[in-house]
Amino acid sequence: MQRHADTHTTAPTANGLPRRTLTTLYGNTQKLDGGAMFGNAPRSLWQRWFDADSQNRIHLGCRALLVRESGRNILVEAGIGAFFSPEMKARYGVEEAEHVLLQRLADLGLSDADIDVVILTHLHFDHAGGLLAAWEDGAAPRLLFPNATFITSRRQWMRARNPHSRDRASFIPELLDLLEESQRLELIDAGQQTPTLGADWRFHFSDGHTPGQLLPEIPMPAGPVVFGGDLIPGAPWVHLPITMGYDRCAEGLIDEKTILLNDLLARNGRLVFPHDPAIGMGRIIRDDKGRFGLSDSARDVLALAE
């Protein structure tokens, strides 16, 4: 295990990993069409997992993951936040006026200025919109996290800058400009690690939902933890054939999901789910029929250290 200069402030764990804690932060929520969230799965199947409202929408969370290690704070994703105008909030079922993620950080005694790194799995508005301050009438969009390095993949950045007509509405051009102007944007390529995070962090790359989705893996004493992003956004999507209508390539996504779940199963790994209102983290298991499932699941974790 290679130690970095900034890990010397705390003694490593017995198996040599830097001491770190994981906290899931349940931020602003949204409502999206249930059919669109479950691709080719019929309502008779998905209504086992979600109740739909009168507009066929289901209630979804936006969950971020805070990793505290070696005196620094790393945030995986920022959720949808509260940057939308009231009209757009109504369209996407964002019910809270305030930026809930900032409140969850404040509960821990932190502000956005205390975050050293933000990792963005991808730049869709329900994963990156929380980088912006809450909407104010007449005010221009404002980038939060003034001291953070923002990490995403180069492939995802290129997509966001040159979107396809099918996913153009999922990106926020004003946010991309602000990220670029901040000069704190770090783009990484598939197979790369980054000295910003250190050698024991690694990434899984996925193209099935959007090109170059970046799924960070955090090594923990009781097995690795991977942020599932929109490759596996919640517990129902652990089931291999379940995809989203928003996915760019459903078959490719299922192949990527199979590889990741087999990898996590072999290493006693866990997933964090951004959108599942009931389950925030779970350990991957497989039953005697070969179906993947979860054990040790929890809605949220607070300063999980192991």
Residue entry with tokens 């005196």:
71
Question: What does the block give as tokens for 84?
Answer: 């939308």
Number of residues that bind Zn ion (CB under 5 A): 2
Distance CA 14, CA 18 (A): 9
Applying CB under 5 A, which part among 104-112, 117-125, 256-264, 280-288 lies near Zn ion?
117-125
Span 125-154, contacts to Zn ion by CB under 5 A: none
Considering beta carbons, is residue 83 or 219 the nearer one to Zn ion?
A: 83
In whole angstroms, how large is the CA radius of gyration of the chain?
Answer: 18
- 46-65 mask for Zn ion (x: CB under 5 A)? --------------------
For the bound state, the minimum distance from the C-beta of residue 127 to Zn ion, rounded and expressed in Å, comes to 6
Other beta carbons within 10 Å of 61: 26
For the bound state, the minimum distance from the C-beta of residue 244 to Zn ion, rounded and expressed in Å, comes to 8
Applying CB under 5 A, which part among 30-38, 118-126, 251-259, 294-302 lies near Zn ion?
118-126
Considering beta carbons, is residue 212 or 280 the nearer one to Zn ion?
A: 212
Site for Zn ion contains 20 (CB under 5 A): no
For the bound state, the minimum distance from the C-beta of residue 122 to Zn ion, rounded and expressed in Å, comes to 6
For the bound state, the minimum distance from the C-beta of residue 169 to Zn ion, rounded and expressed in Å, comes to 12
Considering beta carbons, is residue 30 or 70 the nearer one to Zn ion?
A: 30
| Residue 304 DSSP class | B
Applying CB under 5 A, which part among 3-11, 83-91, 116-124, 249-257 lies near Zn ion?
116-124
For the bound state, the minimum distance from the C-beta of residue 124 to Zn ion, rounded and expressed in Å, comes to 4
Closest CA to 162 of 209, 211, 208: 211
Considering beta carbons, is residue 18 or 79 the nearer one to Zn ion?
A: 79
Distance CA 6, CA 207 (A): 33
Q: How many CA atoms lie within 13 A of 118 on its CB side?
A: 27
Distance CA 85, CA 92 (A): 11
Closest CA to 280 of 266, 300, 295, 251: 300
Among 31, 89, 124, 270, binds Zn ion (CB under 5 A): 124
For the bound state, the minimum distance from the C-beta of residue 247 to Zn ion, rounded and expressed in Å, comes to 9
Other beta carbons within 10 Å of 3: 14
Applying CB under 5 A, which part among 39-47, 78-86, 124-132, 147-155 lies near Zn ion?
124-132
For the bound state, the minimum distance from the C-beta of residue 119 to Zn ion, rounded and expressed in Å, comes to 15
Residue of minimal CB distance from Zn ion? 124
For the bound state, the minimum distance from the C-beta of residue 167 to Zn ion, rounded and expressed in Å, comes to 8
Distance CA 230, CA 271 (A): 12
Considering beta carbons, is residue 37 or 264 the nearer one to Zn ion?
A: 37
Distance CA 175, CA 141 (A): 8
Inter-CA distances, 225 with 132, 231, 251, 304, Å: 27, 14, 25, 11
Span 202-231, contacts to Zn ion by CB under 5 A: 230
Residue spans of alpha helices (H) in the chain: 34-37, 43-46, 86-91, 100-107, 125-128, 154-161, 173-182, 250-266
Residues that bind Zn ion (CB under 5 A): 124, 230
